[in-house]
């Protein structure tokens, strides 16, 4: 693990600024050299050029792979590939691991089979498995052939777990010990290692059959008398994850119990590997990000500088759905064209009812989705929640409905129109509250992600429903 | 740290289900006892009652504070306070630390000054500082008086840092050593401790003036020859945070460099404390959650079972803003009432233009906000981004605009109306793209959070703008 000095607030943007600056200098001189090439080639310019290149290379060499990945993501494609070419092969793999999927794909496309195989040589089996979905089949074949048997098995195991499972987060860097030895023996054993795997805060105590018996915390090992047995200081109560557990469950456990690492065992309690906190942090960040992207209808992570057509494609799904719901809403309005013709104010007022309903529904959904993610809702509390949300919507509806009604009266000097606005507002907020609770609960019951699509659905309902309620009431009472 | 067995996927919801079940049983019998009290008091019923209570208490006692906090958050107020009363005083503080702000407030309101002071006795200074904003002044006065001088100073320091700073995440549990001693001496020193602070993955090497010289990784300490000096194995390149750094910067450093703990120093390089990964995970989760809540216009974390009026208040801010923007959009439509009267189809079609524009703008904003959070945008790339988003919007506009135009033609048999739809769609998507890039960039330039309010603003612009573009074009070309 490379650590860097980090003495001021802007530090994390510094590497990017620095590289952009050096790159700019390099390209500027390159431009000059090219300009002179056909007229009067000047050695000194190309010397400067070489010097700039070296400066850039030296700077890149001392950066952490995660910083390099961030720089690559922030650069337009052309510059990105220029910098990528300057990264040493033995660091390629680590950098690829740190980039987002979209940017990783743009880098891999630029590499040959040989280069890709070479890049994986410096990675562990679980890390290769992370890259596997993005690598061409022939590269994976070569990689498999080049691995020693044990690692080949690990790679096969790691690749067999679904993406959002604990197995996908797992690594194989476990140190195992036996319970019937003295701590001094453990310490001597450890001292024979060159280094311990990162995030080793505990050793796993197993028997002859690799069954997990307990864990020995490193901090306990250090403060305990070296003469006592492992069995006397090991902890038997511990988190045991299963490779097929949902990854989110592991993240919850790390967050609740403040873990640095946790064991992964199979159904027979055999130790398979471990999950470490750094992987969990990446998972939490990614999940939060994907949620934000999904909410905005971006089907996947998008490279900031992706070609236009690729971006268009990434954004289609949601826009298409939105178009369908907009058409439906439009047809609902179409039903009432006669009413609008007679009282054109209706056209100006109807978006208010629909808009406020959509916002209010989205507020309710956000509350419910959050509570579902934290496992805080069961059948008994679901009813209480519906009652509460309905109460909130009635208060909000009467309150804001009155404001809207008064506004309408002020503009159109029509008291009945004002009353219809108030009533329509209250009813649409009521609809939003009911569906705001029921949509995510139903999605969950159907085994779906309660967040995904909730927002589209509620907006569709409050739009079409809002138009229908308002125009219907107006037609009934006013015309 | 209590660790629990976690053998199946539903484990995290189990404690809640268990408590709900036991609580239900307890309350059921309580109901029976009360019923019989005035007629024929039966000892056996109240024996069952006592037994149920004990069962519940025993179950609660073995739960981790984080699990208790989660249960409290999931229970309606009455049940919540019943369970809260059963938690032992020495665990009250830890549980309070784990609850959300809204639920914490409901628990603290239920406690007396004595109880609150007692609850803080089991907490460290940095933990008390986390609770301080929620505690009544008289409690804090008592707490200050009861603390030993050193901790009092620490508490004062911890309370002085702003909420989203590194100082607010910092704790004081550092083990310091000198560089001129042998590792054996360090090991002997550590062995004299009862236990090491949680998340101690490194010891801090300081000189006589508490200046930070380096860190000794525990894992390095274990594998190294005990006869060599600390100075020979310590790492001098390390992350040094400053208490006034933005907390997000610390989170980024932990994520990028896979840290378990990091030092915090003052401007003179004097060691003040450390930040640990468990606190960083909580911060990341909370930040992501707040972002989701803010996007939905919930001003703060809301207790799932908050009283209706409190919830109404929490949701006002956004609804009020939304109402203003809806009024403006309504007035824009009002400008064109004559046109709508002449061609009522306009009323049915206009929400399509506004809706798709809003969605498309939100997609762009999500991309830009994410890139800003990762420090991936500078002045040079901003232009490239605007060009790209404009390109995407033109392609999308012509494409979906054509679909919308054909739909319009199919329904209204009016080719010119179809063309106006296509043109209006393209222009509104263009507007959405331009402002989708510029709103977050401008907010950032003004030193504001680029996410906050972006979504409201873009929707306001694409609604009012969309109505104006469409109705304006229609008035110009069709009437």
pLDDT tens sequence across B85-100: 999 989 999 999 999 8
Q: Which of A217-231, A298-312, A410-424 has the lowest mean pLDDT?
A: A298-312
**CB half-sphere exposure, A466, CA atoms < 13 A:** 34
Find the closest chain B residue to A245 by CA distance: B9
Instruction: Tell me the sheet residues that pair with A206.
Output: A212
Write out the two tokens for B144: 């200050």
- The pLDDT of A91-115, averaged and rounded, is 91
Portions of chain A given CATH number 3.10.580.10: 176-295
In chain A, which residues have their Cβ closer than 8 Å to the Cβ of B237?
A: 2-5
- Is the pLDDT assigned to residue A261 strictly greater than 50? yes
CA distance B433 to chain A (A): 12
Question: Which of the two residues, A50 and B166, has the higher pLDDT score?
Answer: B166
What's the rounded mean pLDDT across residues B320-347? 93
- DSSP-derived 3-state class of residue B327: helix
Structure confidence at residue B143 as a pLDDT band (50, 70, 90): very high
Class of domain B176-295: alpha beta
A chain contacts of residue B98, beta-carbon cutoff 8 Å: 256
Neighbours of A310 (CB within 10 A): 14
Q: How far is the alpha carbon of B126 from chain A, nearest alpha carbon, in Å? A: 16
- The confidence band for A5, taking pLDDT boundaries of 50, 70 and 90, is very low
Contact B281 A282 (CB under 8 A): no
Overall average pLDDT of the A181-188 stretch: 96
**From the list A222, A366, A381, which residue is nearest B76 (CB)?**
A381
Confidence of residue B36 (pLDDT cuts 50, 70, 90): low
Nearest to A348 among B254, B333, B463 (CB): B333
Structural domain A308-478, CATH architecture: Orthogonal Bundle (1.10)
Using CA coordinates, name the residue in chain B closest to A258: B278
Q: Give long-range contacts, CB 8 A cutoff, 24+ apart: A419-423.
A: A419/A477, A420/A470, A420/A473, A420/A474, A420/A477, A420/A478, A421/A349, A421/A352, A421/A353, A421/A470, A422/A398, A423/A473
Angstrom distances, CA of residue A352 to CA of A467, B194, B324, B465: 10, 66, 9, 15
What pLDDT is attached to residue A39? Answer: 52
Q: Is B378 on the interface with A (CB under 8 A)?
A: yes
Taking the Cβ of residue B344 and every Cβ of chain A, the question of whether any pair is shorter than 8 Å is answered with: yes
Q: What residue ranges of chain A are covered by domains with CATH 1.25.60.10? A: 12-164
CATH 1.10.357.20 in chain B is located at 308-478
Q: Out of A218, A255, A333, name the one closest to residue B282 (CB).
A: A255
Q: Residue B268: enclosing H or E segment and its boundaries? A: none
DSSP per-residue codes, B405-465:
HHHHHHHH--HHHHHHHHHHHHHHHHHHHHHHHHHHHHHHHTTS-SSTTHHHHHHHHHHHH
Q: Do A195 and B377 touch (CB under 8 A)?
A: no
Distance (Å, rounded) from C-alpha B68 to C-alpha B313? 28
| DSSP state for residue A327 in the 8-state scheme | H
The whole-angstrom distance between A43's CA and the closest CA on chain B is: 30
Yes or no: domain B12-161 corresponds to CATH 1.10.3720.10 = no
A385 and chain B: CB distance < 8 Å anywhere?
Answer: yes
Coil/strand/helix, residue B122: coil
Q: If contacts are CB pairs under 8 Å, which of residues 436-475 in chain B contact chain A? A: 463, 467
The answer to whether the CB atoms of A396 and B319 lie below 8 A apart is yes
For B463, the closest chain A residue by CA position comes to: A351
CB contact under 8 A, A237 and B2: yes
In the CATH scheme, what is the code of domain A12-164? 1.25.60.10
pLDDT at residue A191, as a whole number: 93
Structure tokens at A122: 């410096």
Mean of pLDDT values over A268-283: 96
A268 in Cβ contact with A211 (< 8 Å): yes
Say whether pLDDT at A4 is over 50: no
Q: Return residues 208-237 of A near B (CB < 8 Å).
A: 218-220, 222-225, 235, 237
**A 133-172 near B (Cβ less than 8 A):** none
Q: Is A176 helix (H, G, I), strand (E, B) or coil?
A: strand
* pLDDT tens digit sequence for A196-255: 999 999 999 999 999 999 999 999 999 999 999 999 999 998 999 999 999 998 999 999
Measure CB to CB from residue A376 to each of B67, B304, B385 and give the nearest one.
Answer: B304
For chain B, the average pLDDT equals 88
């Amino acid at each position: 693990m490379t650590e860097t000095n980090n003495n001021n607030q802007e530090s994390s943007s510094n590497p990017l600024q620095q590289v952009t600056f050096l790159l700019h200098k390099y390209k500027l001189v390159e431009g000059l050299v090219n300009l002179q090439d056909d007229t009067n080639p000047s050695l000194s310019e190309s010397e400067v050029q070489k010097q700039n290149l070296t400066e850039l290379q030296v700077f890149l060499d001392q950066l952490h792979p995660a910083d390099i990945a961030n720089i690559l993501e922030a650069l337009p494609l052309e510059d990105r590939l220029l910098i990528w070419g300057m990264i040493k092969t033995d660091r390629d793999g680590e950098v690829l691991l740190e980039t987002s999927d979209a940017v990783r794909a743009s880098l891999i496309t630029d590499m040959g089979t040989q280069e890709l195989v070479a890049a994986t040589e410096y990675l562990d089996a679980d890390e290769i498995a992370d890259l596997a979905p993005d690598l061409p089949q022939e590269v994976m074949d070569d990689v498999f052939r080049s691995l020693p048997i044990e690692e080949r098995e690990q790679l096969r195991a790691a690749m067999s777990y679904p993406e959002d499972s604990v197995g996908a987060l797992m690594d194989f860097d476990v140190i195992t010990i036996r319970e019937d030895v003295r701590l001094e023996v453990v310490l001597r054993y450890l001292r024979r290692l060159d280094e311990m795997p990162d995030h080793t805060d505990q050793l796993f105590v197993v028997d002859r059959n690799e069954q997990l018996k307990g864990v020995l915390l490193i901090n306990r090992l250090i403060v305990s008398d070296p003469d006592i047995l492992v069995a006397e200081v090991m902890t038997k109560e511990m988190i045991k994850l299963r490779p097929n557990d949902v990854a989110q469950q592991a993240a919850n456990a790390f967050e609740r119990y403040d873990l640095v690492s946790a064991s992964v065992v199979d159904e027979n309690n055999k130790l398979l590997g471990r999950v470490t906190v750094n992987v969990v942090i990446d998972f939490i960040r990614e999940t939060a990000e994907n949620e934000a992207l999904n909410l905005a209808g971006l089907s996947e992570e998008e490279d900031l500088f992706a070609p236009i057509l690729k971006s268009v494609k990434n954004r289609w799904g949601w826009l298409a759905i939105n178009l369908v719901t907009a058409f439906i809403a439009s047809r609902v309005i179409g039903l009432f064209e006669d009413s609008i013709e007679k009282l054109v104010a209706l056209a100006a007022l109807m978006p208010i009812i629909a808009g406020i309903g959509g916002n209010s529904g989205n507020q309710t959904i956000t509350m419910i989705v959050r509570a579902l993610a934290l496992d805080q809702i069961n059948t008994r509390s679901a009813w209480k929640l519906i009652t509460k949300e309905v109460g909130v919507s009635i208060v909000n509806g009467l309150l804001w409905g009155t404001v809207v009604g008064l506004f309408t009266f002020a503009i159109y000097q029509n008291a009945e129109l004002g009353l219809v606005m108030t009533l329509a507002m209250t009813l649409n907020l009521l609809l939003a509250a009911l569906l705001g609770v029921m949509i995510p609960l139903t999605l969950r019951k159907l085994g779906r992600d309660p967040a995904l699509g909730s927002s589209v659905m509620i907006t569709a309902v409050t739009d079409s429903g809002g138009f229908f309620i308002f125009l219907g009431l107006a037609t009934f009472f006013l015309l």
